[in-house]
Amino acid sequence: MRRMTLHGSLSHDAYCAHLLDETTKFREILRDADLSATVPTCPDWTLADLARHVGGAHRWVGTLVATRSATDIEEGDIPEGDGPEEDDAAALDAWLAAGVEQAVAALREAGPDTEVWTWSPVQRAGFWARRMTHETVIHRADAALTAGAAFDVPPEVAADCLEEWLQLCALPAVTAHHTERGEQLFGPGRTLHLHATDTPPELNAEWLLDLTGERFVHRRAHEKAAVAVRGPLTDLLGVLYRRLPADSDRVEVLGERALLDRWLEWASFQ
């Protein structure tokens, strides 16, 4: 079995660079969009709310890392964490830009191994560089869906984003939290295969999700499974994060579709 880990495949510097780039792309979508529009994948939020969530997360992490905090920080203790008073496009854009720059500066200064509080077993700044990169990727997908904009992710980032999601799903705390749903998910012969159809072999963008035991494990592998999902890597990521319906014509589902549906419900973190 593959050993559970939260280590990423990119360097700390690469995560920092991608975090800046993803935030720039996120801001570009917002500039030409209706900030009062409802986000279909986060229906309690408008685009302005989504912007505040992303910018607030960046400033939260930047503050955690800059202060080397050993505990979580309350929202009210994050400098400018709430953003501008009004949903003014220019003000929100400037706030987003400044917040991610502060976060990346703190992450780069700290390096990946500096101890800092996280909600995961990995109490290191490197966790946040990776997590914030992928958090921004997925919320850029939300913004793109809302605004009708194009969405694609560099293959190495998309593969690592999908891998991180599976690693988080494998954490014992997640399985314990979803005990009741897990009883309906795990069982003999219950396996899922994810296969990216548009990536070079060296990226190894295939995963086997093994639900045959008492907890979820996964590995990078090309193996037969009870259900397989095939499609472009960005679209696979969208399905796993429930940003793209599994019945989309952009992916192909072969085998026990009900098992895939149960997995997506279990891994929703809701």
Q: Which pLDDT belongs to residue 173?
A: 75
The SS3 call for residue 265 is helix
For residue 242, what is the DSSP state? T
**Predicted confidence (pLDDT) per residue in 128-170, tens digit:** 999 999 999 999 999 999 999 999 999 999 999 999 999 999 9
Q: Which CATH architecture fits 157-266?
A: 2-Layer Sandwich (3.30)
| Residue 86, amino acid | E
CA angle 114, 55, 129 (to 5 degrees): 25
Number of H helices, E strands in the chain: 9, 7
Is the separation of the CB atoms in 26 and 96 below 8 Å? yes
The residues spanned by each domain of the chain are 12-151, 157-266
Tokens 């360097």, residue located: 11
Tokens 């990119």, residue located: 10
**Predicted confidence (pLDDT) per residue in 1-46, tens digit:** 333 457 799 999 999 999 999 999 999 999 989 999 999 999 999 9
Neighbours of 28 (CB within 10 A): 14
CA angle 103, 109, 110 (to 5 degrees): 90
pLDDT for 183 beyond 70 = no
The whole-chain average pLDDT of the chain stands at 93
**Predicted confidence (pLDDT) per residue in 126-135, tens digit:** 999 999 999 9
**Cα–Cα dist 68/66, whole Å:** 6
Q: Which CATH architecture fits 12-151?
A: Up-down Bundle (1.20)
Could you check whether 12-151 and 157-266 share the same CATH topology?
A: no
Is the separation of the CB atoms in 89 and 31 below 8 Å? yes
Is the separation of the CB atoms in 206 and 194 below 8 Å? yes
State the burial class of residue 100 (Cβ atoms within 10 Å of its Cβ: 0-12, 13-18, 19+).
buried
Is the separation of the CB atoms in 225 and 191 below 8 Å? yes
- The closest of 34, 28, 44, 78 to 58, measured between CA atoms, is 78
